[in-house]
């Protein structure tokens, strides 16, 4: 007869029991990502006749309005939560006039998506001027080249009304101007768009990981955006920004980027009475794809691990270029 191990010398509690099979691991999983948690950012470029590949983001394209219609149907069938379109105009100017042209590329795209899929997806166009300005900044510039915060708010309000009329469910307020949520909220309400919500890029950091995105939108930026986007070392400031946006009427608050700022995602989730989102950005996507192409990592596993970590940190909504791939993997 085998001797019974002495309990003082042998582990009685064995956490590995619940890791033994994939079925057991699924049963006890504490964090689950669902396709409906995911929002797909997409790019639509005026003047294209067919989708154009983005070299720094393999698998991601600049679309035509027609190809976005097809993508919207695919996204709805995949069961993801929404689409986040960014427009790339043929002509840019100092004040981003294309942003408030009812027939401008972003307004046309928003209408096209709404016509194609109705209410099957949440449509969240970008509310910012950087894609539309010839200087690449997110706002109107003063004569000395600095961004004029309050003059920019007037343009955001005009842009917000246009996008609401085009059928947006939420406006992705990404410019990081002081007071932008309150100003746009008031403008929407005064124009009768009380049902159009605001997704505030409440804690948007000046990041080294935005490079591929700037390729995707043909950015005209010279210099950087550090005078209005947040400084990486600061966490308390992020919480102030989040609190201010909530006070001003944000329906959802977002942290961007996601992975380098999971501590901010967690802090936001612990204090926010509204849903918290995080943006798994272009540079994070490009790292995964590039390493996978080299054979250094398993792309599918890296995608799911990244998204799970963002969800575990507290984000209920994740904007990610992997949305369609992830939805298929999660099924």
Residue-wise pLDDT for 115-148, tens only, equals 999 999 999 999 999 999 999 999 999 999 999 9
Non-local (6+) Cβ contacts of 184 within 8 A are 127, 153, 156, 157, 160, 171, 173, 198
- Would you kindly state where each structural domain of the chain is located, as residue ranges? 32-330
- The single residue of 45, 70, 222, 256 carrying the catalytic annotation is 256
Q: What's the Rg (C-alpha) of the chain?
A: 22
Q: Is 204 a catalytic residue?
A: yes
- Total-model pTM: 0.95
Categorize the per-residue pLDDT at 62 as very low, low, confident or very high, splitting at 50, 70 and 90.
Answer: very high
Tell me if 277 sits within 8 A of 250, measured CB to CB.
Answer: no
Across 6-23, average pLDDT: 86
Q: How far apart are CA 305 and CA 297, in angstroms?
A: 12
Categorize the per-residue pLDDT at 260 as very low, low, confident or very high, splitting at 50, 70 and 90.
Answer: very high
Categorize the per-residue pLDDT at 223 as very low, low, confident or very high, splitting at 50, 70 and 90.
Answer: confident
Q: Is the pLDDT of residue 7 over 70?
A: no
- Tell me what percent of the residues of the chain surpass a pLDDT of 90: 92
- The single residue of 45, 70, 204, 299 carrying the catalytic annotation is 204
Q: Is the pLDDT of residue 54 over 80?
A: yes
Categorize the per-residue pLDDT at 218 as very low, low, confident or very high, splitting at 50, 70 and 90.
Answer: confident
Q: Is the pLDDT of residue 87 over 70?
A: yes
In the CATH scheme, what is the code of domain 32-330?
3.20.20.70
Residue whose pair of structure tokens reads 């698998």 in the numeric block: 59
Which pLDDT score, from 0 to 100, does residue 25 have?
95
Categorize the per-residue pLDDT at 11 as very low, low, confident or very high, splitting at 50, 70 and 90.
Answer: confident
Omega of the bond leading into 46 within 30 degrees of 0 (cis): no
């Amino acid at each position: 007869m085998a001797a019974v191990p002495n309990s003082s010398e042998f582990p009685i509690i064995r956490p590995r029991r619940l890791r033994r099979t994939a079925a057991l691991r699924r049963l006890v999983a504490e964090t689950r990502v669902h396709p409906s948690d995911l929002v797909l950012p997409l790019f639509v470029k005026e003047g294209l006749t067919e989708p154009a590949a983005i070299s720094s983001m393999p698998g991601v394209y600049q679309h035509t309005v027609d190809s976005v219609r097809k993508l919207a149907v695919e996204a709805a069938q995949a069961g993801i939560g929404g689409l986040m379109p960014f427009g790339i105009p043929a002509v840019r100017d100092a004040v981003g006039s294309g942003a408030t042209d009812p027939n401008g590329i972003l307004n046309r795209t928003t209408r096209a998506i709404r016509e194609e899929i109705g209410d099957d997806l949440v449509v969240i166009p970008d509310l910012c001027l950087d894609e539309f300005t010839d200087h690449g900044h997110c706002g109107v510039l003063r004569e000395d080249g600095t961004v004029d915060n309050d003059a920019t708010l007037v343009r955001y309000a005009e842009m917000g009304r246009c996008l609401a009329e085009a059928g947006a469910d939420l406006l992705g307020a990404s410019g990081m101007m002081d007071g932008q949520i309150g100003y746009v909220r008031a403008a929407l309400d005064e124009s009768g768009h009380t049902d159009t919500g605001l997704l505030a890029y409440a804690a948007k950091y000046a990041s080294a990981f935005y490079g591929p995105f700037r390729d995707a939108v043909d950015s005209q930026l010279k210099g950087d955006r550090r005078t209005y986007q947040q400084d990486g070392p600061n966490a308390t400031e992020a919480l102030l920004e989040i609190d201010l946006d909530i006070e001003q009427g944000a329906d959802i608050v977002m942290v961007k980027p996601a992975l380098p700022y999971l501590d901010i995602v967690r802090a936001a989730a612990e204090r926010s009475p509204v849903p918290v989102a995080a943006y798994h950005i272009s540079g994070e996507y490009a790292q995964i794809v590039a390493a996978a192409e080299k054979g250094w990592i398993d792309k599918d596993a890296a995608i799911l691990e990244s998204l799970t970590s963002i969800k575990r940190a507290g984000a209920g909504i994740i904007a990610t270029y992997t949305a369609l791939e992830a939805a298929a993997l999660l099924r």
